[in-house]
A and B are shown apart, each in its own frame.
Chain A
């Protein structure tokens, strides 16, 4: 469910929704969600001073039923 939530939130705010990918990596405690978007949309998803990335984290965590969740926006250009 959280993957779908984040996927929807991100798709709605980018210019290339078809290039949005959310990867779900279980961590020892909780969950890591990796967000990949079209390079042109990277600034949009991060926002000024990271404000949009923070908003994505805040809403996703609010729906995680208290489980620890990390949301990382991955800069594809810089490898991984």
Chain B
């Protein structure tokens, strides 16, 4: 599967001048809202197919967990959550460094694709792993941004997964700086540059 993180993070929230409203377009508001509703339906369906696949896995593996389905940033987002001992048991599906979670996310996307026929960019979280990781990474990203602002020089981050890089790109955009990814997985990393001009 190709790298899906691309450069989409910078767009959505930080560059209001590129909002759809400014685009020359011939469709009516009804067309647009119909399209939005259709996309939402499709993403919710993705989430439901994914939840079925995961629920049966939990059942077979004798693990307890509740499954939350959501739509975030144009992607279906599915979280398996539990508390106490059940949460500790669930962490087997996360792994030491999230490698099991990434593997299961790949398989879940394929399961969705085989049912809907469409490529899925669904995000899977288990036992709050990505949520916690995201908070930690945002701190790392914010510190790096401060370093770039203080020194006026670019900073190269450690190699990261696509998910981790996206979190960093998002923080960088919020801080008004510029970032790019360079290199090939698993050595691909984010470079943060001082704001242009």
Contacts and interface: CB of A to CB of B under 8 A. Distances in A.
Given A55-B106, A56-B107, A58-B99, A8 B57 contact: yes
A79 interface: no
Interface string B1-38: 10000000000000000000000000000000000000
A48 B111 contact: no
B95 interface: yes
A62 B107 CA distance: 14
Contact of B61 (A1, A13, A14): A1
A12 B93 contact: no
Of all A-B residue pairs in the complex, the 9 with the closest CB atoms, nearest first, are A55-B103, A58-B103, A12-B111, A13-B110, A62-B100, A55-B106, A4-B60, A12-B53, A59-B103
Interface residues of B, number: 21
A44 interface: yes
Contact of B103 (A12, A13, A48, A54): A54
A5 B60 contact: yes
Interface majority SS (helix, strand, loop, mixed), chain A = helix
Interface of A: 1, 4-5, 8-9, 12-15, 44, 47-48, 51-52, 54-56, 58-59, 62-63
Contact of B114 (A1, A14, A55): A14
B92 interface: yes
Contacts of A62: 92-93, 95, 100
Contacts of B113: 13
A12 B106 CA distance: 12
Contacts of B150: none
A71 to B, nearest CB: 12
A1 B62 contact: yes
Contacts of B95: 58, 62
A8 B56 contact: yes
